[in-house]
Amino acid sequence: MALRTRLHFTEEPLFLMDGFIFKIFDLTENSRRIIRFMMFNMAVIYVFRAFTTTNIVGILRGGGDVKAALALDIVPMYLYGLPVSIITALVLRLDMTMVFLFRSFENLIQLTAGMIRFSSRKWIRNVTVPMEPDSTDG
């Protein structure tokens, strides 16, 4: 998850510089359309992904709720992301941009589930370890 998130720091500047980038590469108009769509989609989704990553990695894991954090990382991917990708790409044979769009909704599922868990305050655990008195003291 962390690697996936780190890679998205480049998308917003790339989205703003698409005219410059397209001049560097010899792209067809269809390729430019696909790239613009995917860059716009990633720029929008990144807002949700950034919050979700902060919630899962920083808040839930930091608060001691590792099981819920693991579930928020894995369950949406295997119960939504992969099946939707397979169905839209291989069964329905949709355009790559539509597969990408449908696959992006996984982030909204993670966001919703993460907000529910965060709001419930069930993630708060005592992660401190009580100090036992040292036998050499006194």
Mean pLDDT estimate for the chain: 84
Angle between helices 96-120 and 66-76 (to 10 degrees): 160
Q: Kindly report, residue by residue over 93-107, the tens digit of the pLDDT.
A: 999 999 999 999 999
State the pTM of this model. Answer: 0.72
What does the pLDDT look like over 9-53, one tens digit per residue? 455 565 566 677 777 888 888 988 888 888 888 888 888 999 999
Could you give the C-alpha distances from 82 to 46, 58, 74, 102, in angstroms and in order? Answer: 19, 25, 11, 11
**Is the pLDDT higher at 63 or at 130?**
63
80 vs 40: CA distance, rounded Å: 22
